[in-house]
Structure 1
Amino acid sequence: MDNGFTPMNEDEVLFVDRGRVLMNNPTFKVSEFLDQLAQVISEQSDEWSEDSEAWFDEGLECEALRFNSGTGWQRGRVRIRLEFAPARQPERLPERSSARQPEPLTRLEPLSDRPRPRNIDDIYADEDNY
C-alpha cells in the first residue's frame, strides 16, 4: 500500500517546518537531504566504502524476498529515495450557500427613458449673469 506516495526527483525542493532531521534550513533539495543522510551514515559506520555510496546512486546489488510478486527471492538493486504524497484536496464548496443568497439584478432602464444631458453650450443656468 503506497498511500499516494511517489518518488521525488533529486532536484525537487522541500519545505519542512517541523520535525525535520539532518537539515538546518527548512527549505532544501532532495539531493541535499540524501547527501546529508549519506554523510551521517558514513561517519557512524566503520565499514563505509565507495561501494556503500550505491545506496544513494545506482543502487546496491542485493536479493529481496518480495511477498506480492509470487516469485520468492529476487536478485536486483536497492537504493534510498524520498517519496512525497500530496495533501488531500479540500472539498469544493457548494455553488450557492444557503446562508446568504445574492440579490437579483434590477432591470436596466432603456436609454430612451433617461433624461438627456443639456446642451454643452448651455452650461450656465438662466439666472446666472456673467
Structure 2
Amino acid sequence: MDNGFTPMNDDEVLFVDRGRVLMTNPTFKVSEFLDQLAQAVSDREGEWTEDNEAWFEDGLECEALRFNSGTGWQRGRVRIRLEFAPLKPQERLPERSSARQPDVLQPEPLTDRLRPRNIDDIYSNDDY
C-alpha cells in the first residue's frame, strides 16, 4: 500500500520546518539528504565499501519475502529513496482553446497604434 507516495528525484527540493534529521537547513535537495544519510551511516560503520554505497545508488543485491507477491523469497535489489505524497491532489488548470472567441475583444492592428496622435490624446487610452 503506497498511500499516494511517489519516489522523488535527486534534484527535487524539500522544505522541512519541524522534525528535521541530518539536515541543518530547512530547505535542501533530496540528493543532499541522501548524502547526509550515507555519511551518517559511514561514520557509524567505520569502513565504507561499495556495498554500503549501493544502498544509495543502484541498489544492493538481496532477497525479499514480500507479503503480497505469493511467490515466497524473491531475489532482487534494494535501495534507499525519499518519497512524497501531496496532502491534496493537484488541481489541473483549464485547457486553453486556440480557437478565437467571438466575445473577446481583439487588439487594434499595429498600424492603428503607430499612426500619429494628438498630444492631448496620448493618455486618453490606457492600452498604450
Q: Which residue of 2 aligns with 1:73?
A: 73
Q: Give the superposition deviation at 1:65.
A: 0.4
CA distance in 2, matches of 1:76, 1:48: 22
CA distance in 2, matches of 1:75, 1:88: 36
Query: Which blocks of at least 5 consecutive residues in structure 2 are unaligned?
Result: 90-128
SS in 2 for 1:61: strand
- Post-superposition Cα deviations, 1:92-118, rounded to whole Å, max 9, x if no partner, equal xxxxxxxxxxxxxxxxxxxxxxxxxxx
CA distance in 1, matches of 2:63, 2:83: 22
Corresponding residue pairs, total: 90
Which structure has the larger Rg?
Answer: 1
Q: Give the superposition deviation at 1:29.
A: 0.2
Q: Which amino acid aligns with 1:82?
A: L
TM-score scaled by length of structure 1: 0.66
Percent of residue pairs bearing the same amino acid type: 83
- Post-superposition Cα deviations, 1:45-69, rounded to whole Å, max 9, x if no partner, equal 1353122100000000000001101
Where is the helix percentage greater, Structure 1 or Structure 2?
2
CA distance in 2, matches of 1:51, 1:3: 30
Question: Is 1:4 aligned to 2:4, yes or no?
Answer: yes
CA distance in 1, matches of 2:4, 2:61: 27
Q: Which amino acid aligns with 1:56?
A: F
SS in 2 for 1:25: coil
Q: Which residue of 2 aligns with 1:13?
A: 13
Residue range with higher mean Cα deviation, 43-52 or 10-19 = 43-52
CA distance in 1, matches of 2:16, 2:35: 17
TM-score scaled by length of structure 2: 0.67
SS in 2 for 1:36: helix
Query: Which blocks of at least 5 consecutive residues in structure 1 are unaligned?
Result: 90-130
Q: Which residue of 1 aligns with 2:87?
A: 87
Question: Is 1:49 aligned to 2:71, yes or no?
Answer: no
SS in 2 for 1:63: strand
Question: Is 1:58 aligned to 2:58, yes or no?
Answer: yes
Which stretches of structure 1, 4 residues or longer, exceed 3 Å deviation after superposition? none
Let me know the Cα RMSD of the aligned residues.
1.5
SS in 2 for 1:24: coil
Q: Give the superposition deviation at 1:84.
A: 0.2
